[in-house]
Amino acid sequence: MADENVLEFANVSKTYNIISDPLLSQGRQAVLDNVSLTLRRGEIYGFVGLNGAGKTTTIKIAMGLVRPDTGTVKMLGKALNSDDLRRIGFAPEKPAFYDFLSAEETMKYSARLLGYSADKTRIAEVLETLNLHNDMDKLVREYSKGMQQRLALAAAMLHDPELYILDEPSSGLDPVGRRHVKDLLRNLRSKGKTVFFSTHILSDVRELCDRVGIIHNGKMLFEGTLKDLNPKGEDLEDAFIKMTAVLPTETTTSAPKERELTQQ
Ligand SMILES: Nc1ncnc2c1ncn2[C@@H]1O[C@H](COP(=O)(O)OP(=O)(O)OP(=O)(O)O)[C@@H](O)[C@H]1O
Ligand SMILES: [Mg+2]
């Protein structure tokens, strides 16, 4: 079913305690406010927003790492459960590895955590897609930041999941690495996989995404196709900056409708 939803957020809200002085409770900060979004099977969905907009929090909720205060999340058609996590390839914003393991050992360990075993051939095959196969014996502590970022993507791919949730997969990558990631995401889509990724790189959004979600101050400003987002085909950065300037930071009360936004 081409239009089947694989991830659905319905009116999800999340607050965190504001604790700048540990002895004083200073109330709660709304981090996500009534977020609804839908990821459809087989698409690449770009999740865009300024620093602190709520992208990583949304992804953590999708992965069951953070619990929402209110609202519902459905993953692959039902409430998230630990078995579903095996059907997801997740690469976090700040991947953390054991320094004393090699890349190959890191991959084996990642597979084992998900209840799989991965042989050397499979590991080499996946590392090759991220151009890391010549460094598979190297210790992770000898990996550069960009290599670690790519290793996190490789670990997410190892079990050939149907859904990928990637938090800024291209951050810290050089132009060749970014090209690799773009090719990889296209390739995953061509195999029928679904990809949800957060990013600040609007050119990647333009080149890759079937649909886009824009989050601002914890509220969804927009969800739709690039054409809906940018009907006049203007510079995407201009369109994005205009859209996020619509709502001043402190006075945000409700998300304007799509049509109002696209006509700004
Ligand atoms: N564990 C936490 N406790 C308190 N506040 C938090 C916590 N995690 C995130 N926040 C706050 O939630 C808001 C959203 O953070 P989040 O990490 O989701 O943003 P983001 O869109 O991923 O930003 P970036 O582009 O910088 O990665 C920020 O104001 C942040 O300070
Ligand atoms: Mg983030």
The reported pLDDT for the residue numbered 26 is 65
State the pLDDT confidence band at 252, using cuts at 50, 70 and 90. Answer: very low
Residue from 15, 33, 57 to probe ligand 1 pocket by mutation (most atoms less than 8 Å from CB):
57
Whole-model pTM above 0.85? Answer: yes
The mean predicted confidence, pLDDT, of the chain is: 87
The reported pLDDT for the residue numbered 232 is 82
State the pLDDT confidence band at 255, using cuts at 50, 70 and 90. Answer: very low
**Ligand 1 site, CB within 6 A:** 16, 31, 49, 51-57, 93
**How far away, in angstroms, is 150 Cα from ligand 1 center?**
23
**How far away, in angstroms, is 56 Cα from ligand 1 center?**
7
Token pair for residue 208? 């890759």
**How far away, in angstroms, is 4 Cα from ligand 1 center?**
30
**Percentage with pLDDT > 90 across the chain:** 66
Summarize the confidence of residues 63-92 as an average pLDDT: 88
Instruction: Collect all residues with Cβ–Cβ distance below 8 Å to 259 and sequence separation of at least 6.
Output: none
The reported pLDDT for the residue numbered 208 is 95
CATH H-level superfamily of 5-87+162-262: P-loop containing nucleotide triphosphate hydrolases (3.40.50.300)
Which tens digit of pLDDT belongs to each residue from 96-146? 999 999 999 999 999 988 888 888 999 999 999 999 999 999 999 999 999
Query: What is the distance between the alpha carbons of residues 100 and 149, in angstroms, rounded to a whole number?
Result: 17
**How far away, in angstroms, is 106 Cα from ligand 1 center?**
28
Residue 19 has pLDDT above 80, yes or no: no
Strands 194-199 and 163-167: parallel
Which residue has the CA at smallest separation from atom 5 of ligand 1?
A: 16
Contact between 240 and 227 under an 8 Å Cβ cutoff? The reply is no
Residue from 50, 56, 250 to probe ligand 1 pocket by mutation (most atoms less than 8 Å from CB):
56
Which tens digit of pLDDT belongs to each residue from 175-216? 988 998 999 999 999 999 999 999 999 999 999 999 999 999
- Asked which of 46-50, 73-77, 226-230, 232-236 is least confident by mean pLDDT, the reply is 232-236
Which residue has the CA at smallest separation from atom 17 of ligand 1?
A: 56
Could you give phi then psi for residue 260, rounded to 5 degrees?
Answer: -60, -40
